[in-house]
Chains A and B, each alone.
Chain A
Amino acid sequence: MNEKNINCPNITMRLETASVLVNKAIDAVTMNKIQKRNLIWLELTGCSGNIISLLDGADPDFKSLATQMVKIVYDNSLMAAEGEFAMEKLFNMLGKDYILAVEGAVSTKDGGLYNVIGRFKGESITAYRAIKELGEGAAYVIAVGTCASDGGISAARPNPSKCVGVQDLLNRKVIKLPGCPCHPDWFMGTLAYILLFGEPALDERARPLMFYSTLIHDCCPRHPFFEQGVFAEKLGDETCMFKLGCRGPVTRVDCPIRKWNDRVNWPIGDNSPCIGCAMFGFPDKMKPFISYNTT
């Protein structure tokens, strides 16, 4: 919260992207221009951090998503229905129109038995089976967070449960929203875009360009320190975090502009290095997160 955003209209305008899209989608639903589509939020091998992050959405917020924009037919943590009744609601969607949002990686070891998400008609439903059955028939599949996008921390070395990202198991396009967790704006903006216009423009790794087209380093308010060679020697310093191992120079997402939690702060603003949580290969390709004296 200590720095001002870079004052470029092209960049500051992007802050409004998610709320403009969501408001447009809600208007279109209200005026019956588009239908209120079904959303399944499937939680697989992860930490629930992405649904918690979604609840932290401020503008747009979760209430407008859940009550005005889509019909959330399944979300294992928030839905009131339980067990068999809930599983029935989930599998009843097969053959119907639904958008599938997936949080968490997919555990593949021993046929997926390291993650059982429920039972249906007497059978254990593994995360592996759930994504196989629900993934192909969805109108769109959105991988929410780094675990769903690329395995993430659930697949960290030595990957004891043999986790993979959702794409590895599906023969179809999966829109990826990496980030640990995924920012609520990234998800709600992408979903609203889909409802209004269909698939958004994606980069070569299927990330929406409207959120993932800039390097953190290029938009970092501490970039002038980098140019002048003024580097932090410890966490807590208010200069460039490059020599502490900051992954801003390789991480492609809009954190420096968007920030977190109603835009009050973000990791570099909190005087700590970016750990590259929105990058493919996180965490193993981003470690060590903190190193003193890299030069």
Chain B
Amino acid sequence: MEIEAIIEKNAVTEAKTEGLLFRGFEKMLEGRSPFDAVYFTQRICGICSTAHSIASSMALEDALGVAVSEQGRYLRDIIHACEFLQNHIRHFYQYTVPDYIKLPQENPLFETDHNDFRLPKTKNDLIVQHYFDSLEISRSAHEMLAILGGKAPHNHGVFIGGATSEASAENISFMRSIADNIRSFIISTMIPDAYAIAEYYPEYFNNGRGYGNLLTYGCFDGYEKLGTLYVDPLVYVDGSVQNLNPRWITENIHSSWYTAKRETYTPEQEIPEPDIKKVGAYSWVKAPRYAGVPCEVGPLARMWLSGEYRHGISTMDRTLARVLEAKKLSEIILTLLNNLIPGVSVQKEYAVPQSAFGAGLTDTTRGALGHWVRIENGLIEQYQIITPSTWNLSTRGNDMLPGPCEKALISTLIENTDNPVEIGRIIRTFDPCVSCATHIFAKGNLVKSFKVVP
């Protein structure tokens, strides 16, 4: 991942996000057994692997006509929520904190080349301590995931019908003790740390806004008995909240290294072919649109659309929404654990139809994730995946509208053009699932080139 930004008179005038990794999972899935997709697609991303197993299982349930029991959903959603916690805690401490807190410089891992660290030493050093303390907490979220999921990353427990293992009184109480511990850490440590940073970097509430269009496919929603514990499928465009209509989701490849019969297509219509020599393209990332509009996805979108957080849309609001969402998720896990019935098996022997189509749409740590599968002769004929980072790091479509992350960078004020720390901080709040290098151009020259990590 690379960003190219042009700065003129202390403001970003142009920004391009360039995805520089292509593996071609959609092509690899063609001809495989549909069941294998649950395990295969997890390998798209080791940070959010569970999300892919969930979207894949949902798409296959749709295609196979499998109705998931409430207990099946609880089991699966607990596994998913564990991944949210692991991701959010690591994103905050290992990826966000180093932007604002001076870590021990004698360790080569923490050497930096800028000095915009503003917290007083005692507060700074306390958060340094929490950087290390958090490692045990985030890893315990994966431990909790593995109790029902077998292992993490790349779990085995999420499958068609919900999960492979049933709850037992023993594993429920084990998970509850871990969830309680994580929840205490989030409330007593992580949220105060985030607000402490926010206090010293107030201008970050005024940059990185982007379009302000927000989208979620919904998650932890629509339970028969529990209703919606978090957020329904919603979009916020032009200042109004609307129900999501999945038929308005399209992708465009105008500025991406692909060719296809048409530039704009709905998910089931087209899997474009890679074309690295395409003139005018600048990224492997495509351009998803909702009703023709680029949308931001992720924790802030969900917290806003669910009404949990309405402070604002900005760099710092994105970070605060993420840590507050972690608290919300820890509550959801405890609710789901309280409603699990021990000893209920949700697995059956499933048969693949000769011909079928299914869609699996869910929100996950970084935002809206969709899998669409077409089965012919009992095998995968076509498999479409649109990840959350594709929404946020979208390229320009034939509408020439910048993607949400590009838009969030454009017009950002830069304090010191020799060391534009603002850009990395803004990009990182989108939690891109790929590390990304950034190149800054001013007065036609490359002044700075740096790497932004997830």
Any B CB within 8 A of the CB of A269:
yes
CB pair B446–A270 under 8 Å, yes or no, is no
Check B108–A89 contact: CB distance below 8 A: yes
Contact A289–B437 (Cβ < 8 Å): no
Q: Which of A46, A63, A81, A236 contacts B345 (CB 8 A)?
A: A236
Residue-wise, chain B 414-429 has the 8 Å CB interface mask toward A (1 for contact) of 0000000000100000
Task: Assess whether A251 is interfacial by the CB under 8 Å rule.
Answer: no
Residues of B with C-beta under 8 A to A236: 164-166, 345-347
The answer to the question of B330 belonging to the interface, with a C-beta cut-off of 8 Å to chain A, is no
Q: List the B side residues contacting A158 at CB < 8 Å.
A: 27-28
B349-406 CB contacts (< 8 Å) to partner A: 349-351
Instruction: Check B185 for interface membership: any CB of A closer than 8 A.
Output: no
Say whether A91 faces chain B, with CB atoms less than 8 Å apart. Answer: no
Instruction: Report if A52 contacts B (CB, 8 A).
Output: yes
Q: Which residue of B lies closest to A83 (CB)?
A: B450
Interface segment out of the listed B37-45, B63-71, B297-305: B37-45
**Distance from B274 Cβ to chain A, minimum over Cβ atoms (Å):** 6
Q: Is the CB of B154 within 8 A of A160?
A: no
Q: Is B204 an interface residue (CB 8 A)?
A: no
Indicate if the CB atoms of B165 and A160 lie closer than 8 Å: no
Q: Is A149 interfacial (CB 8 A cutoff)? A: no
The CA of A54 and the CA of B347, in the complex, are separated in Å by: 32
Count contacts on B: residues with CB < 8 A to the other chain.
82
| Segment of B134-142, B244-252, B333-341 engaged in the interface with chain A | B134-142
For the complex, count residues of A whose C-beta is within 8 A of B: 86
Question: Is A67 within 8 A of B152, CB to CB?
Answer: no
B20: nearest residue on chain A (CB-CB)?
Answer: A116
User: A82 at the A/B interface (Cβ < 8 Å)?
Assistant: yes
Contact A84 B448 (CB under 8 A): yes
Contact of B446 among A58, A122, A153, A269 (CB under 8 A): A122
Q: Judging by beta carbons under 8 Å apart, are A48 and B164 in contact? A: no
For window 1-55 of B, CB contacts with A under 8 Å fall at 2, 20-24, 27-28, 32-33, 35-36, 38-40, 43-47, 49
Seed contacts A236-B166, A260-B146; 5 additional CB < 8 Å A-B pairs: A55-B94, A80-B109, A83-B449, A115-B22, A270-B150
29 residue pairs of the A-B complex, CB under 8 angstroms, read: A38-B108, A45-B21, A45-B23, A48-B433, A49-B47, A55-B138, A56-B142, A62-B135, A71-B108, A77-B454, A82-B438, A83-B449, A84-B450, A86-B451, A87-B451, A89-B111, A114-B21, A114-B23, A116-B20, A118-B451, A119-B437, A160-B24, A181-B154, A235-B159, A235-B347, A236-B346, A262-B139, A266-B151, A288-B36
